[in-house]
Structure 1
Amino acid sequence: MEDRPQSFSSNMLLNDSANSSESDSEAHSAFTQTEHNIVAAYLIIAGAISIFSNIVVLGIFVKYKELRTATNAIIINLAFTDIGVSGIGYPMSAASDLHGSWKFGYTGCQIYAALNIFFGMASIGLLTVVAVDRYLTICRPDIGRRMTTRNYGTLIIAAWVNAVFWASMPTLGWASYAPDPTGATCTVNWRKNDVSFVSYTVSVIAVNFVVPLTVMFYCYYNVSRTMKQYASNNCLESINIDWSDQVDVTKMSVVMIVMFLVAWSPYSIVCLWSSFGDPKKISPAMAIIAPLFAKSSTFYNPCIYVVANKKFRRAILAVVQCQRRQEITINSALPMSVSRNALTS
């Protein structure tokens, strides 16, 4: 039983044509132990920041029951995806880096890779729901006002179901999961760029990258045009929403989408390169930087909430400083609600 993780790691790192001695050499030469230790330190620090900040975000919604609205459920679900990656993926990857190679065996590799894909795809789907929410609230208020808790629940569940589908496919034979060239983390086995991998990768990028980006750009382009039109016509006072809050929330959403691009573009490029090019030409540094960038969203989303939304910032500071409910007044719901009711005690 002790030999299985080593055999698995060696056999899955390279193409089927490579022999075991070559795979052992490549698995252990991709990074030095010092470089593994640096990656582990980054994962430990980033994971701790992510878990703490997202727990604070959830704490705000626990503290202020008025914030538990249909639209705020999107942010709550995003926080759970971030906690899932930082609470499960980061520790396993950090432990393997400190060990110098993947240390959780075949089953652990499948679970780790599937959970990371699952939470990543769910996050992308939820960000798309955020964009649709902004579009309906700003551009189509007639429809936005008719959106119910059930409607939002359906969109959120669809994002999770989509994530389950794509995360489970490699475990069922469409592509596969294996350690990456560093040997210390697991992901889709892009080193084995056969027909199964290429078809899976192209499908994932089309459904979970190109389509969401198209929807996001369409939504925010129209949101931008509508906001400029209202401003130029000096008719903001006639809009039945708290416009300053909506501008704040929309800016926050746009920053989230930009950071989504920054986080997932390197990973998508690596997958496409390995599908239509020579995966052996992808450097070990790029192989590890791409998934690290993708994971980075777990700790920058809470930072975006704080920086881009003054009311959210006020609430989160109150929670961190352990202020009593009576000591803070928030003028409207945070951060995605169009409610105009004051959150007072």
Structure 2
Amino acid sequence: MAFHTSNPSCSDSSSVSCKSNIHHYGPEDHPNLSPNGHLLVAVFLGVIGSLGFFNNLLVLVLFCKYKVLRSPINMLLMNISLSDLMVCILGTPFSFAASTQGRWLLGEAGCIWYGFANTLFGTVSLVSLAVLSYERYCTMLRSTEADMTNYRKAWIGILVSWVYSLFWTLPPLFGWSKYGPEGPGTTCSVNWHSRDLNNTSYIVCLFVFCLALPFAVIVYCYGRLLFAIKQVSAVSKGAGRAREQRVLIMIIVMVVCFLLCWLPYGVMALVATFGKPGLIPPSASIIPSVLAKSSTVYNPIIYIFMNKQFNRCFTALIQCNDTPQVSSKKSSSKTTKICLNARRLPDNFTPNVTSNRPPSSEAEKEDETSNSHTKNFNNQPAKMLIAHYTA
């Protein structure tokens, strides 16, 4: 965003280097945001930082205390909580303090560090959400049981999220774009304002590979999962339909929250880079930044506390129990398998819907016996195995 300086030789007024002769970013440099505006931003950042810190710290405490939560897919959830917690520790408190004073307080070096750290942890969170959706997609559609003791893929996913994020957030430290003040001067990020090729090329790459690509992976993976669950509901009108509705709501909430928090920030970056100068005033540009930071609050709520396993462990923690209560519904912790044709299904085909629990009645035994004859069809050995964990 544009910043006015006293140095007329600086063609890029938002650059940190143009402000190297200024000891702080005072409110006189940002007249578009009033003291009350700064105070309002500080209140929002204080609430977001406090809730985000508490929620993500609680998630990590539960994960460390209860061994039942230490599954490979939960490792990815811990990675998201860790990156969000780092934002709440290394990012939000400094922007909160700056908003209370109406100016950036840590100087040029602090601004660069803040911009790098927040961009890194935010990108790790975004990429981890995409890796999580892909892992869920593979778990539900692969042809074998989920191995709950194989942590290799989870560690690879975590490593990929950090290496990939570092690959795209380190360049501004070495000359490809730069980190500097944004909005009303109380936060720092990538230099969105500069119009030179060096900066615009980085902004485009950052938008494509760190926002658009993770979002595309999330939409594709969860869309395929929803389609698979629709096949279940076509067979089981009761439980299958209810499961479809629950998963549909969960997916809609995840996608909407993702877009609500990150799309405004991405659009603001593109408009500031390619749009008419001054189109987005500093007073309005702070809103996308606050929305992006709010992801630290909703991520643990949507992805973790809506999970029944974490709910039971949280209840046990409140009650000072070392062992969480086991669900009374035996089927809730089991795996549902549905074998579907990898290409197409005949009109009279009925998918095999079984559970890894023993049949509870003679009727169920008869159903399983009759359905077992439909595993192979059309001489096509390829299958898809859908595993839905409700625990």
Structure 1: state its 5+ residue gaps: 1-5
Which residues in structure 2 correspond to 1:268-283 (within 5 Å)?
268-283=266-281
Instruction: Provide the rounded CA distance (Å) in 1 between the counterparts of 2:221 and 2:149.
Output: 17
Which residues in structure 2 correspond to 1:216-295 (within 5 Å)?
216-234=218-236, 252=250, 255-295=253-293
Q: Deviations over 1:174-221 (max 9, x none)?
A: 111111130111111112122112101110111112211221121111
Give the conservation status (yes or no) of the 8 Å contact 1:166–1:204.
Answer: yes
Deviation at 1:233, TM superposition (A): 2.5
Q: Deviations over 1:291-342 (max 9, x none)?
A: 11111100111222466334433332332x243124633579xx9997999x
Give the conservation status (yes or no) of the 8 Å contact 2:49–2:92.
Answer: yes
Q: Which residue of 1 aligns with 2:93?
A: 91
Give the conservation status (yes or no) of the 8 Å contact 2:194–2:200.
Answer: no
Give the conservation status (yes or no) of the 8 Å contact 2:230–2:244.
Answer: no
SS at match of 1:52: helix
Give the conservation status (yes or no) of the 8 Å contact 2:268–2:288.
Answer: yes
Give the conservation status (yes or no) of the 8 Å contact 2:184–2:282.
Answer: yes
Q: Which residue of 1 aligns with 2:380?
A: none
Deviation at 1:27, TM superposition (A): 2.2
Deviation at 1:282, TM superposition (A): 0.9
Instruction: Provide the rounded CA distance (Å) in 2 between the counterparts of 1:184 and 1:257.
Output: 29
Identity of aligned residues (%): 32
SS at match of 1:126: helix
The correspondence for 1:169, drawn from 153, 156, 171, is 171
1:100 equivalent in alignment to 2:98: no
Q: CA, structure 1 residues 15+48, in 2 after alignment: closer, same or farther (shift >3 Å)?
A: closer
Give the conservation status (yes or no) of the 8 Å contact 1:13–1:183.
Answer: no
Q: Which residue of 2 aligns with 1:312?
A: 310
Instruction: Provide the rounded CA distance (Å) in 2 between the counterparts of 1:249 and 1:66.
Output: 23
Give the conservation status (yes or no) of the 8 Å contact 1:179–1:189.
Answer: yes
Instruction: Provide the rounded CA distance (Å) in 2 between the counterparts of 1:157 and 1:77.
Output: 10
The correspondence for 1:110, drawn from 109, 112, 118, is 112
Q: Which residue of 1 aligns with 2:320?
A: 323
Deviation at 1:86, TM superposition (A): 0.8
Instruction: Provide the rounded CA distance (Å) in 2 between the counterparts of 1:233 and 1:101.
Output: 61
Q: CA, structure 1 residues 330+185, in 2 after alignment: closer, same or farther (shift >3 Å)?
A: same
Q: Which residue of 1 aligns with 2:140?
A: 138
Deviation at 1:141, TM superposition (A): 4.1
Q: Which residue of 2 aligns with 1:182?
A: 184
Give the conservation status (yes or no) of the 8 Å contact 2:183–2:285.
Answer: yes
Instruction: Provide the rounded CA distance (Å) in 1 between the counterparts of 2:254 and 2:334.
Output: 17
Instruction: Provide the rounded CA distance (Å) in 2 between the counterparts of 1:247 and 1:41.
Output: 37
Which residues in structure 2 correspond to 1:121-132 (within 5 Å)?
121-132=123-134
Q: Deviations over 1:95-150 (max 9, x none)?
A: 11112111101110011000110011101110001111221122224385599311
Give the conservation status (yes or no) of the 8 Å contact 2:48–2:293.
Answer: no
- Which residue identity lines up with residue 170 of structure 2 in the other structure? S
Q: CA, structure 1 residues 116+279, in 2 after alignment: closer, same or farther (shift >3 Å)?
A: farther
Give the conservation status (yes or no) of the 8 Å contact 1:113–1:177.
Answer: yes
Q: Deviations over 1:14-34 (max 9, x none)?
A: 479x9999x978723131122
Q: CA, structure 1 residues 97+115, in 2 after alignment: closer, same or farther (shift >3 Å)?
A: same
Q: CA, structure 1 residues 114+302, in 2 after alignment: closer, same or farther (shift >3 Å)?
A: same
SS at match of 1:187: strand
SS at match of 2:144: helix
SS at match of 1:178: strand
Alpha-carbon RMSD: 3.7
SS at match of 2:194: coil
Deviation at 1:225, TM superposition (A): 1.0
The correspondence for 2:209, drawn from 207, 210, 219, is 207
Greater C-alpha radius of gyration: 2
Give the conservation status (yes or no) of the 8 Å contact 1:249–1:336.
Answer: no
Instruction: Provide the rounded CA distance (Å) in 1 between the counterparts of 2:283 and 2:334.
Output: 42
Q: CA, structure 1 residues 258+143, in 2 after alignment: closer, same or farther (shift >3 Å)?
A: farther
Q: Which residue of 1 aligns with 2:157?
A: 155
Q: CA, structure 1 residues 297+287, in 2 after alignment: closer, same or farther (shift >3 Å)?
A: same
1:64 equivalent in alignment to 2:80: no
Q: CA, structure 1 residues 324+307, in 2 after alignment: closer, same or farther (shift >3 Å)?
A: closer
Q: CA, structure 1 residues 72+28, in 2 after alignment: closer, same or farther (shift >3 Å)?
A: same
